Amino acid sequence: MKLSRKWLNEFVDLPLSEVDDRTYAEAMSISGSKVEVTEDLSTKIVNVKVGRIASIEKHPNSDHMFVCMLDVGAEEPVQICTGAWNIHVGDLVPVALHNSMLPGGVKITKGKLRGIPSNGMLCSLKELDCTTHDFPYGEITAAAILGNYHPIDPAKPSISADIKAGDKIFGKVVAAEATAVENAGVNLWKITLAPQGELVTNCQNIHVGDLVAYDTAKNHICTLEDLHAKQEEFPNCIPDGILILHEDVKPGDDIGVMLGYDDHVVEFEITPNRPDCLCTIGLARETAVTFGKEFRQHTPVVKGIGGDINDYAKIIIEEPALCPRYTARMVKNVKIAPSPAWMCERIRNAGMRPINNIVDITNYVMMEYGQPMHAFDFSCVANGEIHVRRAAEGEAIQTLDGTERKLTTDMLCICDTDKPVCVAGVMGGANSEIVGDTAMVLFESANFNGPSVRRTATALGMRTDASGRYEKGLDPENTYAAVQRACELIEMLGAGEVVDGIIDVYPGKKPQTTIELDAAKINAFLGTDIEEDFMRKVLIDLGFTLEGNTIYVPSWRGDVEHYTDIAEEVARFFGYNNIPVAFSGGNTTGGGFNENQLCERAIGEALRSMGMDEIITYSFISPTYYDKIRMPKDSALRDSLKILNPLGEDTSIMRTTILPSMLEILTRNYNYRNKEAYLYEIGRIYLKREDGLADEPKIVSIGSYGPNVDFFALKGWVEALLNTFDIKNLRFRAEKNNASYHPGRCAKVYSGETCIGVLGQIHPEVAKNYGVDAEFYCAELSFETIFALKGGIPVYQPLPKFPATTRDIAVICDEALPVGDMVDTIMAAGGKYLKECKPFDIYKGVHIVTGKKSVAFSLVMRADDQTLTDEHAEETVKAVLDALQRKHNAVLR
Amino acid sequence: MKELMQKLRDASLEAISAAENIDGLEALRVKYLGKKGELTGILRQMGQLSAEERPAMGQLANALRSDIENAIEERKSALSEKLMELKLEAEAVDVTLPAKDVRIGHKHPMYNVLDQIKDIFIGMGFEIVDGPEVELADYNFTKLNIDEGHPSREWTDTFYFAEDSSILLRTQTSPMQIHAMETKPLPIRMIAPGRVYRKDEVDATHSPMFHQIEGMVIDKGITMADLKATLNKVVEKIYGEGTVTRFRPHHFPFTEPSCELDIRCHKCGGKGCPTCKGEGWIEVLGAGMVHPKVLSGCGIDPEEYSGWAFGMGLERLAMGEYKITDLRLIFENDVRFLEQF
């Protein structure tokens, strides 16, 4: 929301000289109207002055440029070169002097153009960031100057190069020479042609001595269009050039001031609960209370010319739920014209563009009152009836932006008896657009249901200034004042005659909200000690009324319905920053991490101590990722929660496995040519539940690649991690059936019979699916299982007092026998003296039968109460060897 | 005899001081002091002396022995010192050579910041709660006083799993307020950090998944002054002592009054600069007094209990803390990025 400070001053005396932008922004922000940015418009156009052209000479070094001398109100004239052909001696033009600034931060300095000094630039409309809506007379028509003719085919010119005055061109069109050029009013020039005499034209580019094409039948100087000529044939006769001013200005006047840029604009971020602040009046009220100033309310006065609107128009609301109020007035004998400069200025400064008086009035009222207005060309409203109804099946409308829109039955429309003429609250229809010959206008000032407007605007893909306001829910009481203001402006601008009477259909009138004022309760809630008188004053200044302790909430404050809302109003103006900073104490709470959170922290610490970096990945993945990791087609994990409105396929389902997320990051790092990566994430997976929600267990995901990474490195990390939590009876079992992993390099890890997770090398086919030719190693461990299995507080074990004895044994067994199984057997058979068993050598080859292998173990034995005797050691080794033979048919080598 | 001893003294001390190694020194010991050594040789001649001369000569001889012994010991220790020096010299390394590789993992920068914040609140008696990301619209919106027509419920803004818009990916951590109020005994002091989801395309400042931290206190007699006191402390802990704050009215459907907390721009000290977009202030978090409608919706009597709540975005905090310029880096997980923190 952009607010012009000049406009604001109509309602509150707050001159810039008294309160600068920064002070204003700070005060408004802390009273609840957040200021985003302030802009001093006078910096937009700097040192651009009105100049009068004193002389024009041909540029000596150019066939299409001119050298002008200008009176810019200074002692010395200023010389400027220009390529524009539409200027004349005596014209008033905008002159960007040396060291000037144009909109968009364009800096102009002096220089030389083809060797001739040029001390600035003459400006076009565009260079001033204006359009013909700002200056309708700025539209430029170009005559075809015969001297500028360049035939498309030099061999076949349409006009001979030596043509002279009086020569026939075609039909009744002859060449004529301009012998005098004189201004004859706004955008009109009196041209004396030899020998034909005088005529008036709006072509701006004719100068004494020019040969032009003169239509003797029409007494008319021909444009390119009249000659059916292409632009390239007359390259310098263009409908563009310098803005020739017809304002009440003199040389030396400031163009910025002329455009109304002697203003400051404040841009607010208005919260959605305060649509009443999306206009000058709403912000003026807030400003007045913030600065303790008087708020000057304006009541529009309309004279009217008699008659009765009811004789012309009828309004029927068929959907009162979507249109609580529809207020309308009629204007006849409309004279469409440009708006006066003051109105254009305000419209421009508040961020819109002037169009014409009627359209500008609707925008002006919207920006002043916050009430969107619409103006219909009433001659286009069939049978003079307005029906507010939902669009019928298959109906369509061409909106003002020229787009054909298909309507659906949940869209509210303003219709005549036959067709929609407007999409309610969003945009008008082209079929009832205000055009140059519009004579009767119906002003609509209506209230529509916010969400309905928003959905319609979204569905049609056009959010407009009007819909943006409506969707926040506007005050239905505001429609009346707004339509009155529009009609007052019609009369003020002389833009038409206002017919007496107002049509006001108001099916949705709401009772006024009341709240009891309880100062003690408010103070207790805020932790303050604010006087009740202060509270009352704030409320009254904001437009609330009080009867005893009953607060009557004004209609525009739909957000206020509870005593806490009143507390906020009081607090805003008491100052949030004046509320004390104090702990009330309350009851003590213990706080702290719970066991689960501590465990998660400890897992992270353990993995980082092993060199793993933590990653964060998206919870959603692409359904194609299941194929990428070769998840079996019939896997239950393929049944993911599907986002019905995803951003794209890549983020369309909730992951049921964390593996693809890790593989994506490993792949990215690999593709970035990072030579190694050691990564972990403790992330959730999302498993569909009967009730439509999800179980969201956490998975400890580990992923790595690099020159020092192999299966046993990965196994080491997993083992070390699980040992950190004192998880008992760890065993690793080969896993050949997980299609994501290498069938010979994958294991499941168990504690006893409880599976904690899976680890291994990613299947080369999976790696290929990720476009990677490398060994990726990953582990997926269940956080919940680790948490459930983790040991308690460690209990001190006395340190050994007696020395240990070590014996190495080597046995021959089947090649396929897992060493882990043998270790289990050894530990089980070793009895109380065997403390440790470590396999240290595996040998196949010479001296060993094919299909067998030799495995060497180092056995550490110790007695807790004495130095171990040889007999005890021998007994233990024998028991171990017996068990190995019995269970695995393994014999001492 | 006296002369002999003097001669021996001179010769032996000179030889000892000239000895170049331990072995040579040992040979000298044998040569002078050994059983067949020179001193012994001299002492054997003692028999030729008179009884009166003997004690004095004996004394001289003992002194000589002890002096030679001392000289040998001294020389020995000097030699071994020199030996050690040589050894150390030979063992010297170039300390500027690279160290052996030690890998220490890195916490994700965002979780560094999150853990810092968790610790601050834990220190103030808060607990941490965790809840579902696949959530009921009821919890994400309705019970938070966000009505049916609210724009944030649109399918253009929120990810849905159910055609009737009843199940969604939570768009904020605020539903944790409801879960906490419904399940926890009063009083409550909690924070709830976690992932949230909104339908934003990925760019330098947006991501469809990001993180928030919710916080809430419910107790008897909790006022806006409590809110200010706690959040001021938290901000001071995050941004450093002496951080200037301001509380600015704002709007959230589930708090009333609502506010935003700004800190004075640390870069320009409030004058206005590109970091604070010329405002002199940087918005840090949103907060407010828990709306009585929300309390009573959770079965808590707003006449008896009151509370405050806040919410803040984690990504922006981490980006500010580490001067990270592009949000995408956070989810890209390039190890060259991760290992900077």
ipTM given for this complex:
0.86
Cβ B105–A594 below 8 Å, yes or no?
Answer: no
- How does B216-242 read in b/e, with b if 16+ C-beta sit within 10 Å? bbbbeebbbbbbbbbbeebbbbbbeee
- The distance of A456 to chain B (nearest Cα, Å) reads 12
Average pLDDT, chain A: 93
Collapsed DSSP state (helix, strand, coil) of residue A3: strand
Contact residues, chain A, for B149 at CB < 8 Å: 450-451, 454
The model's pLDDT over B235-277, given as tens digits with 9 standing for 90+, comes to: 999 999 989 999 999 999 999 999 999 999 888 888 888 888 8
The string of DSSP letters for B221-267 reads T--HHHHHHHHHHHHHHHH-TT--EEEEEEEETTEEEEEEEEEE-TT
State pTM to two decimals: 0.82
Scan for tokens 């040589």, then name that residue: B86
d(CA A314, CA A384): 6
Q: What is the mean pLDDT of residues A60-86?
A: 92
Predicted confidence band at A585 (pLDDT cuts at 50, 70, 90)? low
The string of DSSP letters for A161-175 reads TT--TT-EEETTEEE
Query: Quick check: B98 pLDDT over 80?
Result: yes
Cβ A617–B188 below 8 Å, yes or no?
Answer: no
The partner residues of A806 in beta bridges, in order of sequence, read A860
- The distance of B9 to chain A (nearest Cα, Å) reads 56
pLDDT at A704: 98
Cβ B149–A614 below 8 Å, yes or no?
Answer: no
Of A589, A610, A672, the CB nearest to B334: A672
Cβ A587–B289 below 8 Å, yes or no?
Answer: no
- The distance of B146 to chain A (nearest Cα, Å) reads 12
How would you classify the pairing of strands A92-102 and A106-108? antiparallel
Cβ B122–A591 below 8 Å, yes or no?
Answer: yes
Query: Quick check: B86 pLDDT over 80?
Result: yes
pLDDT at A540: 97
Q: What is the mean pLDDT of residues A124-149?
A: 89
Cβ B225–A584 below 8 Å, yes or no?
Answer: yes
Query: Quick check: A874 pLDDT over 80?
Result: yes
**Nearest-CA residue of chain A relative to B246?**
A577
Cβ A525–B306 below 8 Å, yes or no?
Answer: yes
Contact residues, chain B, for A647 at CB < 8 Å: 199, 201, 208
d(CA A120, CA A241): 16
pLDDT at B227: 95
pLDDT at A63: 84
pLDDT at B275: 81
Mutate to test the interface with A, among B106, B112, B134 (most CBs of A within 10 A): B134
The model's pLDDT over A638-691, given as tens digits with 9 standing for 90+, comes to: 999 999 999 999 999 999 999 999 999 999 999 999 999 999 999 999 999 999
The model's pLDDT over A382-417, given as tens digits with 9 standing for 90+, comes to: 999 999 999 999 999 999 999 999 999 999 999 999
Class of CATH domain A514-578? alpha beta
pLDDT at A589: 81
CATH superfamily of the A595-789 domain: Bira Bifunctional Protein; Domain 2 (3.30.930.10)
Cβ B225–A665 below 8 Å, yes or no?
Answer: no
- The distance of B170 to chain A (nearest Cα, Å) reads 12
Predicted confidence band at B179 (pLDDT cuts at 50, 70, 90)? very high
d(CA A398, CA A696): 50
CATH topology match: A2-43+261-291 vs A514-578: yes
Q: What is the mean pLDDT of residues A579-586?
A: 83
Predicted confidence band at A93 (pLDDT cuts at 50, 70, 90)? very high
CATH superfamily of the A805-892 domain: Ferrodoxin-fold anticodon-binding domain (3.30.70.380)
Highest mean pLDDT among A374-378, A699-703, B78-82: A699-703
Beta carbons of A653 and B307 less than 8 angstroms apart = no
The model's pLDDT over A296-341, given as tens digits with 9 standing for 90+, comes to: 999 999 999 999 999 999 999 999 999 999 999 999 999 998 898 8
The two tokens of residue A14 are 């707050």
Distance of CA A94 to the CA centre of its chain: 37
The CATH number corresponding to B109-338 among 3.30.70.20, 3.30.930.10, 3.10.25.10, 2.40.30.70 equals 3.30.930.10
pLDDT at A155: 86
Cβ A593–B122 below 8 Å, yes or no?
Answer: yes
The two tokens of residue A323 are 């249109």
pLDDT at B309: 97
- Residue A742 or A436, more confident: A742
For chain B, give the percent of residues with pLDDT over 90. 70
Q: What are the structural domain ranges in chain A?
A: 2-43+261-291, 46-139+246-258, 146-233, 309-505, 514-578, 595-789, 805-892
**What CATH architecture does domain A2-43+261-291 belong to?**
2-Layer Sandwich (3.30)
CATH superfamily of the A309-505 domain: Phenylalanyl-trna Synthetase, Chain B, domain 3 (3.50.40.10)
Cβ B249–A576 below 8 Å, yes or no?
Answer: yes
Cβ B209–A618 below 8 Å, yes or no?
Answer: yes
Cβ B187–A587 below 8 Å, yes or no?
Answer: yes
Contacts of residue A524, Cβ cutoff 8 Å, sequence gap at least 6: B221, B223
Cβ B249–A619 below 8 Å, yes or no?
Answer: no
d(CA B160, CA B169): 6
**Nearest-CA residue of chain B relative to A667?**
B334
- How does A271-310 read in b/e, with b if 16+ C-beta sit within 10 Å? bebbbbbbbbbbbbbbbbbbbebebeeeebebeeeeeebe
- The distance of B96 to chain A (nearest Cα, Å) reads 24
* Ramachandran class of A79: left when φ > 0, alpha when ψ lies in -120 to 50, beta otherwise: beta
Mutate to test the interface with A, among B112, B147, B161 (most CBs of A within 10 A): B161
pLDDT at A421: 94
pLDDT at A588: 78
Cβ B199–A588 below 8 Å, yes or no?
Answer: no
- The distance of B148 to chain A (nearest Cα, Å) reads 9
Of A22, A594, A674, the CB nearest to B335: A674
Contact residues, chain B, for A640 at CB < 8 Å: none
Contact residues, chain B, for A29 at CB < 8 Å: 248, 281
Predicted confidence band at B332 (pLDDT cuts at 50, 70, 90)? very high
Contact residues, chain A, for B189 at CB < 8 Å: 589, 591
Q: What are the structural domain ranges in chain B?
A: 2-91, 109-338
Q: Could you give the dihedral angle defined by the CA atoms of residues A524, A526, A530 and A533, in that order, rounded to the nearest 10 degrees?
A: -90
d(CA B11, CA B18): 11
Query: Quick check: A584 pLDDT over 80?
Result: no
Query: Quick check: A739 pLDDT over 70?
Result: yes
A72 closest CA partner among A90, A49, A56: A49
**What CATH architecture does domain A46-139+246-258 belong to?**
Beta Barrel (2.40)
- The distance of A656 to chain B (nearest Cα, Å) reads 13
pLDDT at B270: 85
pLDDT at A135: 85
